[in-house]
Amino acid sequence: MPKYKPGDLVGIETKDRKYTGILMERPELSGDNYLVIKLESGYNIGISLDRIKKIKKIGTGVKREKFKLKKHKKDSSKKDISILATGGTIASRVDYITGGVHSAFSAEDLISAVPELGEIANIHGKQIFNKFSENIVPRDWIKLAKATEKEIKKGVNGIVITHGTDTLGYTSAALAFMLKTPVPVVLTGAQRSSDRGSSDASLNLIHSAIVAARGNFSEVVVVMHGETSDSFSLIHPATRVRKLHSSRRDAFQTINSKPNGRVSMNSIEFFKEAKLAKELRLDTKLEEQVFLLKYFPGLNPKVIDDLVKTGYKGIVIGGTGLGHTSDLLFEKIKDAIESGISIAMTSQTIFGRVNMNVYSTGRILQDIGVIPCEDMLSETAYVKLMWILGQTKNPEKVREMMLTNYAGEITERSDI
């Protein structure tokens, strides 16, 4: 059978009928015993190869569009910001040949696709990597932190980082611990891809650019839609933000604290006193062998042994309620701590904090050596323990650092 390319317009004759349509790529994990075409009606169909009698190319069909960078003239009256692209839905669109959503926009594509950015600041774009966020690993956090430091050293007034939403909270926390910045560093993403009418991509990017260019603060934050319409976005602290819905545009919320502020097309309003610093400092040492374990009824205590044998240096447990596990785990947790493993406790509840002094379960776990993590999010505690173990393996120093507030991850009183 002749080789045709996705996008070719083909005519296919089977044993019982004829079809005309655009040849599409098959999904990566599918078999290779059929062809997929998009009919004129817009529907896709798969045709088994053993049914095809004849296929011929009729035309080239759909051509892939290539976005071109819109050049912006530097304006000395405007501030300079860098947009660092990492992929994700904010940098994706539907490929109407394959029917799938692809990370297709480079940093240059983003700037060209959102011309309002040129009215906000002098824009510099750079692609750091191009990954959906579920594929991002701790080494990528380090790469991104170093790239951010490099841009700040060039003298830009702010940074915007585009990122997939699913693990955005992990990356924002990692940057908050690794990077002390004298300028705003803003992470943003999109719940819906740029080609969709209901997309939040452009507005999230515009609001982030406004915050990066005009925000008088120096820390890492996350900017995402504040409600389902397009009136404003919220500015979230990097270590306290969580995605609470799989698809809503206002999925991101600040947990156990207030957002830092909100931004619209015409204004920025801050709810907290802004952090101001002149120092740029980078510390990217991470211990990647840290495990985030969610306790559940029936959890086999031998799991703790397995983690120790696998070589993990730290474990963050998402415990029940105020920070509990079954007493069946106590002995294994004690053995792990005595072998040099640092174990910290957070709560599975979204709001509130651990308090391991209330019940005997919590008091015993503390006596064993488990570190209570106050009102830290589990994912933030996980990233923080990686960062701390990159600095020291001394158990007492690890405990001291886990209970020290470095980037707003701990509050004295949790707010709803």
Catalytic residues: 89, 165-166, 243
CB atoms within 10 A of CB 326: 15
- Give Cβ neighbours of residue 153 (< 8 Å, ≥ 6 apart): 280
